[in-house]
Amino acid sequence: MLQTIRERAQGWIAWAIVILISIPFALWGIQSYLGVGSEPVVAQVNGVEITQRALDQRYQETRMRLRERLGSAYRPELFDEQTMRAQVLEQMIEETLILQVAQDLGLRASDQELRLAILLNPAFQKEGRFDKATYQRMLALQGTSEAQYEDSLRRRILGTQLQRAIEASAFVTESELAEAVRLEKQQRQVQLIRLPKAQFLSDTPIPDAEIQAYYEAHADRFRSPERVKLQYLLLNAETMDLAKPPAEEELRQRYEAEKDRFRKPEQRQARHILIALDPKSDAQTEAQAKAKIEAVRERLVGGEDFAEVAKEVSEDPGSAPQGGDLGWFGRGLMDPAFEQAAFQLKKGEISAPVRSPFGYHLIQVTGIQPETVQPFEQVKDKLRGEIAKEQGEGRFFDWAERLANLAYEHPDSLEPAAEALGLQIQESDWLDRQGGEGILANPKVLAAAFSAEVLEEGLNSELIEPEPGALQAIVLRVVAHEPARAKPLETVRDTIIDQLRDQAARTAAKAEADALLEKLKKGEPIEGYAVQDLGTIGRDAFQVPEAVRKLAFSLPRPKDDQPSLGSTSLENGDGAVVRVKQVIDGKLADLKAPERDALKRRLVRALGQGYYDRFLEDLKARADIERKPLETASDF
């Protein structure tokens, strides 16, 4: 049989088998090259993948950090998930790219730099110095190993090295600085002819058709807002009648019931002399120790000073130097036998030898503070506050729950709830989305009032607690609703006429200014206009109307004593002609050293960051970046 196999093995069957077997081996792992069946990928940067999972994780981290930073100001609805995801992804793409580029350029994060970064991180320090144990604990908290952390730190150092290089080498030349000062501190000598809008206001009647057209064209301006009238039940200290203080009797009962809280147990101060003895020692040693302590007792009874003797013979190293003093202690701290003796002695009396696991003691009580109980009068106010709070809270939560249930069970009316709880139904005035006063201005309350359930279905709202912890709750329903609607033409007619006249006056004033400008440019004489000298003004001359200032500084620099001219319309509708007679450049030499340094630093920083941004953009433009359309992750 083997012979047959051998013969056949030379033939085509063998080849077929070999080929069949080799196929799986050849294809093994190929999917990791083709990207088939692996994780979903959201982007590729020069062939390096960014997976959906990495993006999700990074997105969650970003959100968490945002929440921590903003604290209570954080509102999830302020951040559009799609936009934020796209931003996070863009950031990841940039990081991936810059890391690749750094690698390709042969940049490395040195071990030295890595060590320094770890040693100088305050999170890993204890008492101002790096502490290995703290380092390991911090990493364990984050769930990373040292190798992982160091790897990611290395990448971070490498990823920022180019940026640091660009920013550290940014410079501003002296002439650039001078140019910046020349322009920023520039002053211009300006004259102004002002054509007040009021002069162009006419009271000629405006045709109805025009008013109608304006009304229709600006329908959104002439709408009254959507309004509602509310009925509501309010739970708070007043409506629940919590103001009533607890009776004296109640306070006394509480005092009696909780007397232990106000009891300060007996305390004693004692000193002792110990002849140490192993609890398992034999009878002979025991007898020796006993004899020894009796002898010491004799000395004490004979009138020797306790403290002196304790220092001399006590075998308790903790107390002997203090003359055996143990300080003040209450029950439950000392060995039971010791305690029993110590709490039975009179002050000054010397105990008989007491056997404890430590050996034989002689005890003398040097001070007694008897048990004290704070009298009722002293704690009355405290109790009153506690009871009021407990009752208030208890009652509030109880009532709130009942109110919520009743309002839910009878969604078409507040009456049952009001009756059951003895609350008064209150009614609001008309409210638009801006809200009313007090609790009716609260955004949560308004959101409920204008919610689909309450507004459209006419149901009671849920129980709303506008401010957590404030013991305040409200249930409301809409009793009248007025949708947003166009104000009738007649009621806004006068407003429209005013607006139309205003518009016409503005246009006329500007036209007059333009006409005047033309005349001035041609050198024709002008008469009857007041020319106002504004003097020399800087870019920050806030006393000059903004439009004038902007125009004055955007007009070309006067050439050959030929003033520059321009016209504009002021915010209040006045027309204006501006004449720039002279430009006085800012001088670097006029800057004080600190101001000059600050300006230089600002420019250098702007250039450093700006160049890095451009550099990154340039890298991106050259890279092969593929972004897949983003979808929301399914796991939240």
DSSP 580: E
Question: What 3-state DSSP class applies to 104?
Answer: helix
- 270, 326 Cβ separation under 8 angstroms: yes
Distance in angstroms (rounded) separating the CA atoms of residues 234 and 463: 10
Distance in angstroms (rounded) separating the CA atoms of residues 3 and 434: 99
- 195, 513 Cβ separation under 8 angstroms: yes
Distance in angstroms (rounded) separating the CA atoms of residues 534 and 549: 10
Which is nearer to another protein, 154 or 331 (by Cβ)? 154
State in angstroms the smallest separation of the CB of 493 from another protein. 45
State in angstroms the smallest separation of the CB of 566 from another protein. 11
The yes or no reply on residue 559 touching another protein (CB under 8 A) is: yes
Which is nearer to another protein, 482 or 613 (by Cβ)? 613
Binding part of the chain for another protein, among 83-91, 111-119, 331-339, 515-523 by CB under 8 A, reads 111-119
Which is nearer to another protein, 261 or 622 (by Cβ)? 622
C-beta atoms surrounding 526 within 10 Å: 11
The yes or no reply on residue 564 touching another protein (CB under 8 A) is: yes
Round the CA-based radius of gyration of the chain to a whole number and report it.
Answer: 45
Distance in angstroms (rounded) separating the CA atoms of residues 108 and 115: 14
State in angstroms the smallest separation of the CB of 541 from another protein. 15
Q: Strands (DSSP E) along 487-619, which ranges? A: 531-538, 564-569, 575-584
Which is nearer to another protein, 7 or 220 (by Cβ)? 7
- DSSP H helical ranges for 458-525: 489-522
State in angstroms the smallest separation of the CB of 538 from another protein. 12
Question: What 3-state DSSP class applies to 536?
Answer: strand
Q: Looking up tokens 């305390």, which residue turns up?
A: 267
Q: Contact with another protein (CB under 8 A): which of 4, 72, 83, 112?
A: 112
Question: What 3-state DSSP class applies to 347?
Answer: strand
Q: Across-strand partners of 464?
A: 474
Give the total residue count for the chain: 636
> From residue 58 to residue 97, what is the string marking binding to another protein with x (rule CB under 8 A)?
----------------------------------------
Strands of the sheet with 575-584, listed across from one edge:
531-538, 187-195, 575-584, 564-569
Which is nearer to another protein, 501 or 581 (by Cβ)? 581
State in angstroms the smallest separation of the CB of 465 from another protein. 49
Which is nearer to another protein, 79 or 615 (by Cβ)? 615
Which is nearer to another protein, 100 or 374 (by Cβ)? 100
Half-sphere exposure of 241 (CA within 13 A, CB side): 4
> From residue 167 to residue 206, what is the string marking binding to another protein with x (rule CB under 8 A)?
-xxxxxxxxx--xx--xx-x--------------------
State in angstroms the smallest separation of the CB of 190 from another protein. 14
- 602, 617 Cβ separation under 8 angstroms: no
Q: Which tokens go with 134?
A: 């703290």
Q: Contact with another protein (CB under 8 A): which of 268, 553, 573, 599?
A: 553
DSSP 37: S
Q: Contact with another protein (CB under 8 A): which of 309, 320, 471, 555?
A: 555
- 235, 392 Cβ separation under 8 angstroms: no
Distance in angstroms (rounded) separating the CA atoms of residues 42 and 625: 11
C-beta atoms surrounding 200 within 10 Å: 21
State in angstroms the smallest separation of the CB of 222 from another protein. 39
Which is nearer to another protein, 105 or 352 (by Cβ)? 105
State in angstroms the smallest separation of the CB of 560 from another protein. 9
Which is nearer to another protein, 169 or 285 (by Cβ)? 169
Which is nearer to another protein, 349 or 613 (by Cβ)? 613
Which is nearer to another protein, 165 or 333 (by Cβ)? 165
State in angstroms the smallest separation of the CB of 559 from another protein. 4
Q: Contact with another protein (CB under 8 A): which of 309, 439, 583, 591?
A: 583
Binding part of the chain for another protein, among 125-133, 381-389, 399-407, 558-566 by CB under 8 A, reads 558-566
State in angstroms the smallest separation of the CB of 17 from another protein. 19
Distance in angstroms (rounded) separating the CA atoms of residues 89 and 93: 6
Q: Which tokens go with 123?
A: 């999170």
Total residues contacting another protein (rule CB under 8 A)? 53
State in angstroms the smallest separation of the CB of 624 from another protein. 15
DSSP 79: S
Distance in angstroms (rounded) separating the CA atoms of residues 122 and 427: 59
DSSP 467: S
> From residue 124 to residue 163, what is the string marking binding to another protein with x (rule CB under 8 A)?
-------------------------------------xx-
Whole-angstrom CA distances from 431 to 478, 479, 481, 483 are 10, 12, 9, 12
Q: Contact with another protein (CB under 8 A): which of 9, 17, 21, 105?
A: 105
Whole-angstrom CA distances from 60 to 40, 55, 63, 403 are 18, 9, 5, 38
State in angstroms the smallest separation of the CB of 549 from another protein. 12
Which is nearer to another protein, 321 or 610 (by Cβ)? 610
DSSP 431: B
Sequence-distant (≥ 6) Cβ neighbours of residue 627 within 8 angstroms: 42, 43, 89, 93
State in angstroms the smallest separation of the CB of 556 from another protein. 4
State in angstroms the smallest separation of the CB of 110 from another protein. 4
Q: Contact with another protein (CB under 8 A): which of 130, 262, 450, 615?
A: 615
Q: Contact with another protein (CB under 8 A): which of 389, 519, 557, 601?
A: 557
Distance of alpha carbon 282 from the chain centroid: 70
The yes or no reply on residue 567 touching another protein (CB under 8 A) is: no
Binding part of the chain for another protein, among 237-245, 301-309, 603-611, 625-633 by CB under 8 A, reads 603-611
Binding part of the chain for another protein, among 88-96, 105-113, 434-442, 513-521 by CB under 8 A, reads 105-113
Q: Contact with another protein (CB under 8 A): which of 43, 166, 251, 320?
A: 166
The yes or no reply on residue 429 touching another protein (CB under 8 A) is: no
Using CA of residue 545, residue 547, residue 549, residue 552, what is the dihedral sign? negative
Q: Contact with another protein (CB under 8 A): which of 57, 614, 628, 631?
A: 614
Distance in angstroms (rounded) separating the CA atoms of residues 43 and 84: 16
Distance in angstroms (rounded) separating the CA atoms of residues 417 and 477: 13
Q: Contact with another protein (CB under 8 A): which of 618, 628, 631, 632?
A: 618
Q: Which residues bind another protein (CB under 8 A)?
A: 101, 104-113, 161-162, 164-166, 168-176, 179-180, 183-184, 186, 553-559, 564, 583, 603, 606-607, 610-611, 613-615, 617-622
